[in-house]
């Protein structure tokens, strides 16, 4: 079950919002999953946990108790994929769910009840992502790693890679002149203190030509120039300030927005109907995801923010 199938199942059974008898959703889902196979229950549990985990952010839950925050996130999920997507884009949309708290608590117990109905045994399996409140360390400023910790963690992670020496201030300045904007501070530190390219889930581009090829393009300046060119292919040039950072293969690139101090991550995916879109990730969250294992090679479908007029605007978790 991928995320599209998960949301389709929610949509099939969910009541109109708001509904005081929304336990009917959980009951219908339980009955459907209890028909088997067990793998369907497991896949549903993984998708449910991931959907809840993505909402486990400080800007949503700072004023709520752990249980209240969990039930409110469950209410968002119970309202369907469209609602979940919109809340992820705008924290203000979370408020009505936080005020309705308990109505979707029963959604959390669907895998347990379906598994017991199917097998007669208690569900004792974990999921890759925890849906418990405050589990998403990267989503909580007080729990997220500092820039110093991230730089050191990246340095440790790539210690066994044969990487070029750290970049020089002149290398950084050359890229900033080419882009026309200053480099996000954390990214600057990585290049100056860790290596001139090669860090990341695959390998980030070198700022300038080091002889270490991490892409078909020799460095960030060349890649930025190529992506900034307008041609007759119908493919739009990247927006001003958005810079290629990592070639992930199969016409997929991780990009970073120099116009944002936090380094908003963008995704270029020629296999998607919307080639270039921003994501819900900052550079710090992207690095944390790589270090913790939830940013992996392949599509960035879970994090893509499609425009309202995009037919594929709801993100997928096919890479999870």
Q: Tell me which of 113, 139, 165 is where a domain ends.
A: 139
Is residue 195 a part of any domain in this protein?
yes
Is residue 320 a part of any domain in this protein?
no
Q: How many domains does the chain have?
A: 2
Is residue 110 a part of any domain in this protein?
yes
- How does pLDDT run across 176-192, given as a tens digit for each residue? 999 999 999 999 999 99
Do residues 194 and 267 share a domain? Answer: yes
- How does pLDDT run across 247-301, given as a tens digit for each residue? 998 889 999 999 999 999 999 998 877 788 898 889 998 998 888 777 888 888 7
Is residue 121 a part of any domain in this protein?
yes
Query: How far from the centroid of its chain's Cα atoms is residue 137's Cα?
Result: 13
Is residue 311 a part of any domain in this protein?
no
Do residues 165 and 267 share a domain? Answer: yes
Q: What is the mean pLDDT of the chain?
A: 85
Give the separation between CA 38 and CA 36, rounded to whole angstroms: 5
Give the separation between CA 169 and CA 192, rounded to whole angstroms: 7
Do residues 183 and 36 share a domain? Answer: no
Is residue 227 a part of any domain in this protein?
yes
Is residue 70 a part of any domain in this protein?
yes
> In sequence order, what E strands does the chain have?
242-249, 252-257, 264-269, 276-282
Token pair for 146: 């500092």
Q: Which of 319, 290, 292 is nearest to 304 (CA)?
A: 319
Do residues 297 and 259 share a domain? Answer: yes
Domain that holds residue 130: 3-139
pLDDT for position 303: 79
């Amino acid at each position: 079950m991928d995320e599209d199938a998960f949301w389709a199942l929610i949509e099939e059974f969910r009541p109109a919002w708001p509904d005081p008898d929304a336990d009917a959703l959980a009951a219908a889902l339980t009955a459907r999953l209890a028909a088997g196979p067990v793998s369907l229950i497991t896949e549903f549990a993984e998708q449910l946990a991931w959907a809840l985990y993505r909402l486990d952010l400080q800007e949503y839950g700072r004023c709520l108790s752990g249980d209240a925050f969990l039930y409110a996130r469950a209410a968002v999920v119970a309202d369907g994929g469209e609602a979940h997507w919109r809340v992820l884009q705008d924290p203000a949309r979370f408020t009505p769910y936080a005020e309705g708290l308990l109505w979707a608590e029963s959604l959390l117990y669907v895998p347990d009840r379906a598994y017991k109905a199917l097998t007669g045994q208690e569900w004792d399996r974990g999921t890759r992502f925890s849906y418990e409140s405050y589990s998403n360390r990267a989503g909580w400023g007080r729990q997220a790693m500092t820039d110093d910790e991230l730089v050191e963690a990246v340095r440790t992670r790539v210690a066994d890679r044969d990487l070029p020496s750290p970049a020089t201030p002149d290398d950084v300045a050359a890229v900033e002149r080419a882009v026309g904007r200053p480099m996000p501070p954390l990214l600057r530190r990585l290049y100056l203190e860790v290596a001139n390219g090669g860090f990341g889930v695959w390998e980030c581009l070198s700022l300038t030509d080091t002889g270490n090829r991490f892409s078909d393009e020799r460095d960030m300046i060349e890649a930025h120039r190529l992506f900034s060119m307008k041609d007759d292919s119908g493919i739009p040039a990247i927006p001003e300030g958005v810079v290629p950072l990592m070639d992930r293969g199969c016409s997929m690139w991780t990009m970073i927005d120099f116009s944002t101090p936090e380094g908003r991550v963008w995704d270029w995916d020629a296999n998607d109907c919307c080639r270039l879109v921003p994501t819900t990730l900052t550079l710090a969250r992207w690095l944390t995801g790589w270090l913790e294992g939830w940013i992996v090679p392949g599509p960035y479908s879970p994090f893509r923010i499609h425009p309202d007029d995009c037919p594929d605007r709801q993100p997928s978790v096919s890479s999870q």
